[in-house]
Chain A
Amino acid sequence: MTDTSFVRHEMLAEQAPPLTSVGVIGWLRANLFSNWWNSILTVLSLVFIVYILSGLIPWTFQSVWVADSLNECREIMIATWGDTHGHACWAVIRERWLQLTFGFYPSELYWRPILAFVLLIIAIGPVLFPGFPRQALYVTAAYPFLMPWLMWGGTIWGPLMVAAGFAIGYFAHRFIEPILGGLAALIIAVLAALIWWLVLSGPVAGALGGAIPIGIEPVESRQFGGFMLSIMIGVVAIGVSLPIGIVLALGRQSDLLIVKAICVGFIEFIRGVPLITLLFVASTLLNIFLPPGTNFDIILRVMIMVTLFAAAYMAEVIRGGLAALPKGQYEGADSLGLDYWQSQRLIIMPQALKISIPGIVSTFIGIFKDTVLVSIIGLLDPLGLSNAIRADAAWNGIYWELFAFIGAMFFIFCFGMSRYSMYLERRLRTDHR
């Protein structure tokens, strides 16, 4: 009997996978032509892309950069390519980009908004990125006082007096706390600061300004405009609305009935009306609500209303984060013997804010986009300026180029913010996936 069974003693060499399932062809088959329906979609998409690009690329690159008016643009187009269709007239951007950026800010003072913008980057750097030099936090602390002074100009004593109020409050708290205890110190500190701001700072600033006149040329609000204005309103609203939103969210979550009712009423009211009505309030009604004779700056009024609007939305986002936190975290904080503010500061808020990062950032993006609404009440933000440019006889009839430019700028800012939020989520992720 012979053993006819056959057992292979050596491994076969690995074979390369079939050409149709690896490499470019494999990828194409898996992702673009996996079945007939996908193939149709792919072909349709390709046709669409080719159609768009065949119009867009010549429009963007075969374009006129130097001209004084739309008519001149068209003459150049006809002289060069024979027709006016399908060619952009970027000359309008070249002529007006400074205006679209700074509005009617005096051109010899452009260094001030630019400096303010650079300082802004330095100021928010340490907040956004852990690798940023920590010393920049001093700039962050000084920025709220520095920015208005740089933008509006005038005497340096005004912002310094406001800052001095904070210093007075801080030192009052510092010295009184060992003597009278925390709560009394807090109340006295707030009162001291308020008295300083409301009563003393005006005469002191006047006297100091008379004695040592340090100042830069003042610029009026109606000269503000362009992306400078959008960024100013956006940054103020974003920066101030986050703390207010946190307080509102805590108020809404609190056990204190009256506090809760006030917070809920405020949040639901603001969220129930469109921003444009709040801007109407800023432009027409805010002066009626304040003591007779008060008439403060329109940009400041708009900033206040946009901030309140942002704060209500922020509060809801943060409330979502607070609600998503497991109850054990609250109980754990209590069992450690932390009081309300300690547990909020050390345990609850760091986690709740982390959970709500995507919502917070999309609120930021929404607020920044909503700053264009100020054009409706007559401020010259980029959109308001674009209306003015289109009404100008020289550029009457131009729209794609202007809106493409403005839209691209907004896209860069907003897309940047959303990418940053993704980065932040990755950096703060503590689960080990």
Chain B
Amino acid sequence: MTTLTDPPKESFRLSMLIYDTRYRSMTIQVVAMMGFMLLAAWLINNTLTNLATLGKPIDFGFFSEPASYDINQRLLEYDSRDSHLRASFVGLLNTLVVAVLGCITATVVGVLVGVLRLSPNWLVARLMTIYVEMFRNVPVLLWIVLVMAVLIESLPAPRAFRGEDPAATMSFFDSVAVTNRGVYVPEPLFSRSLGDISVFGEASLRFNISLDLILILIVLGASIFAIRWNSKRANAIQEATGDRPTTWHVNLGLLVVPTAVVLVALGFHLGYPALKGFNFQGGTHMRNSLIALWLALSLYTAAFIAEIVRGGILAISKGQTEAAGALGLRPNRIMSLVVLPQALRVIIPPLISNYLNLTKNSSLAIAVGYMDITGTLGGITMNQTGRELECVLLLMLVYLSISLLISAVMNWYNNKVKLVER
């Protein structure tokens, strides 16, 4: 007869913490945790000691003091008597402006280059390869500084536009003035404007929202909603009868007519820049620093996006195209219904991480004097107040928040388009 017995009970020995796999991971974690906390405590202790020696304990009070420096390119009203917080806020908006502009341009150029790199035309494909290699292998800061230098040194001064026979003329039917002080473009104006609402009253984070813009956006949103409803209706008819009603003219009308009516009602017109005195007046003034940063960042990032787009298209096997063709789809429907949805799944995640890189690279604005958040909070504010710790930590926090936000969007998208496998 055999008896089942429990394995002999081992009493716990200290050496089991190291040699027994049941406890070892716990030991390692506790040691790691202790090491980490010791390191953190050591760093914080050093910091506090050093700050006490320097006589400047951590204090964010400087944010309410007047900044007393000027920000020449800005979206919000700001003058040098405003607080450092206001300056940082204006800088943050400037970062977002250049990031959004850059992402849009980079996507357009990048997709174009990526598609053309796959062109059967040997010459075009080679040219695009040269473009991609040229921009990918040279630092972006060099491009930014180079574009800035070219803009300043080679463009005509505003006084070249003066006189009977000027050395320089405005382009695009006298509406855009390209000078070495920046580019002047027409600005949208409303003669029967609804006015602005100002948010946050007199606080440092105050800003105005144009009611005209809100109205236009609402109308546009409604149009798009109507278009989607129209397309859905067309789909339903197609499902039921097999015939798809023509939708594009209705859609176009839905998109254009209401917006146009609103624009006319608001008295929309363009304010053109005009030479007055030594400089151009009117219009929107985009300074060289903004243009240089925008152009260089978007051309640089476009080279990376081009590679991503190319990789994404190449990743879709030829069998997919052929199978779609065998089903009787036309080439443009194959592209939009079969290839693109699959390629986008490959393209979008690295594309968004490139947007993130562009946003982080926009901190190089400080090299050309564009006042983004690095130029205000991490530049002049830091130098004026001597609050390095607070400024740099806040600066990191701002960028970290932007990054985590974009990452969150990316994860949401990835989960949404993830292939549902068996």
- The verdict on B328 contacting chain A, using a C-beta distance below 8 Å, is no
Q: In terms of DSSP, what is the predominant structure of the interface of chain A?
A: helix
Q: How far is the CB of A231 from chain B (nearest CB, A)?
A: 14
The interface residues of chain B lying within 8 Å CB-to-CB of A197 are none
Instruction: Report the interface size for chain B: residues with CB under 8 A from the other chain.
Output: 55
Check A273 against B396 for contact (C-beta < 8 Å): yes
Check B403 against A42 for contact (C-beta < 8 Å): no
Selected contact of B32 from candidates A48, A262, A269, A390, CB within 8 Å: A262
- The verdict on A395 contacting chain B, using a C-beta distance below 8 Å, is no
Selected contact of A42 from candidates B46, B124, B363, CB within 8 Å: B124
Selected contact of A411 from candidates B29, B119, B127, B138, CB within 8 Å: B138
The interface residues of chain A lying within 8 Å CB-to-CB of B142 are 372, 383, 403, 406-407, 410
- Are A289 and B363 CB-contacts (below 8 A) given A41-B124, A259-B32, A369-B138? no
Residue in B49, B137, B364, B396 with the greatest tally of chain A CB atoms within 10 Å: B137
Inter-chain CA distance A258–B389, complex, in Å, is 28
Check A411 against B396 for contact (C-beta < 8 Å): no
Selected contact of B134 from candidates A375, A406, A411, CB within 8 Å: A411
- The verdict on B367 contacting chain A, using a C-beta distance below 8 Å, is yes
The interface residues of chain B lying within 8 Å CB-to-CB of A271 are 403
Check B121 against A38 for contact (C-beta < 8 Å): yes
- Bitwise, B147-164 to A at CB < 8 A (1) or not (0) is 001100100000000000
- The verdict on A300 contacting chain B, using a C-beta distance below 8 Å, is no
The interface residues of chain A lying within 8 Å CB-to-CB of B138 are 369, 407, 410-411, 414
- The verdict on A53 contacting chain B, using a C-beta distance below 8 Å, is no
- The verdict on A59 contacting chain B, using a C-beta distance below 8 Å, is no
Within 8 A of A (CB), among B101-157: 119-124, 127, 133-134, 136-142, 145-146, 149-150, 153
The interface residues of chain B lying within 8 Å CB-to-CB of A291 are 46, 49
The interface residues of chain B lying within 8 Å CB-to-CB of A414 are 136-138
- Residue positions of B touching A, CB distance < 8 A: 18, 25, 28-29, 32-33, 36, 43, 46-47, 49-51, 53-54, 119-124, 127, 133-134, 136-142, 145-146, 149-150, 153, 360-361, 363-364, 366-367, 374, 378, 382, 388-389, 392, 395-396, 399-400, 403-404, 407
29 interchain pairs (CB within 8 A)? Answer: A31-B120, A41-B119, A42-B123, A45-B127, A46-B123, A48-B127, A257-B29, A259-B28, A259-B32, A274-B399, A277-B392, A277-B395, A280-B395, A285-B388, A287-B50, A288-B50, A289-B46, A289-B47, A289-B50, A365-B137, A369-B140, A372-B141, A373-B141, A375-B141, A383-B141, A399-B150, A407-B146, A410-B137, A415-B133
Nearest 7 Cβ contacts at the A-B interface? A272-B403, A414-B137, A399-B149, A31-B122, A274-B360, A369-B139, A284-B388
